[in-house]
């Protein structure tokens, strides 16, 4: 099983695009806890899923800003 290392505010590519107008596969991680919250970079919608679901759906990390300040509207 593949394991992708990720952290808060990383930009990730998912295996499937979000079914919105933008149809982007790019999401940003905005919360990491027992569950993970990601935001669609196409429409801005927030999606909450378990870590197990996320691990299964993520393809790769595109960008990892590290300890930068949270982007506006992250919460």
Nearer to Zn ion by C-beta: 66 or 73? Answer: 73
Least separation in angstroms between residue 41's CB and Zn ion is 8
Distance (Å, whole) CA 7 – CA 51? 12
Query: What's the half-sphere exposure (Cβ side, CA atoms, 13 Å) at 46?
Result: 11
Nearer to Zn ion by C-beta: 2 or 48? Answer: 48
Nearer to Zn ion by C-beta: 20 or 48? Answer: 20
Question: Contact residues for Zn ion (CB under 5 A)?
Answer: 18, 20, 40, 42-43
Least separation in angstroms between residue 12's CB and Zn ion is 14
Rounded-to-5 percentages of helix, strand, coil across the chain: 10, 35, 55
């Amino acid at each position: 099983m593949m394991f992708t290392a990720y952290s808060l505010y990383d930009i990730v590519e998912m295996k499937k695009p979000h079914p919105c107008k933008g149809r982007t596969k790019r999401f940003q991680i905005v919360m990491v806890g027992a569950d993970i919250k990601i935001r669609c970079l196409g429409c801005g919608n927030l999606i909450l899923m378990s870590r197990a679901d996320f691990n299964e759906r993520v393809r790769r990390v595109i960008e990892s800003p590290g300890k930068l300040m949270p982007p506006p509207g992250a919460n």
